[in-house]
Amino acid sequence: MSIFSQKVYDAVRRIPKGEVASYKEVAEMAGYPGAFRAVGTVLSKNTDLTVPCHRVIRADGRVGGYQGGRGGGEEIKRARLEEEGVEGVL
């Protein structure tokens, strides 16, 4: 695993339950401002269930893609966020 990927995973693990962060915010948290597309690429390949990828959304408030370690899609991502009390995600 690359250092970048590890820093992205560590940043995502710091997003509290019931909260979300944008791909851009995760890039900044990981120390790579501007690398938000690369964050999306890393998270799209994640299979580690300890990384709560469902808490990362697009800057426009849409959920964006989601694999969830086993596949999934936007509806599952939205449902996981709603289970955590997140409201208003498109």
Active site residues per annotation: 53
H helix count then E strand count, the chain: 4, 2
Computed on alpha carbons and rounded to an integer, the radius of gyration of the chain in Å comes to 12
* C-alpha to C-alpha distance for 21 and 51, rounded to whole angstroms: 13
Whole-angstrom distance, CA of residue 34 vs CA of residue 51: 21
Q: Any bridge partners for residue 21, and if so which? A: 56
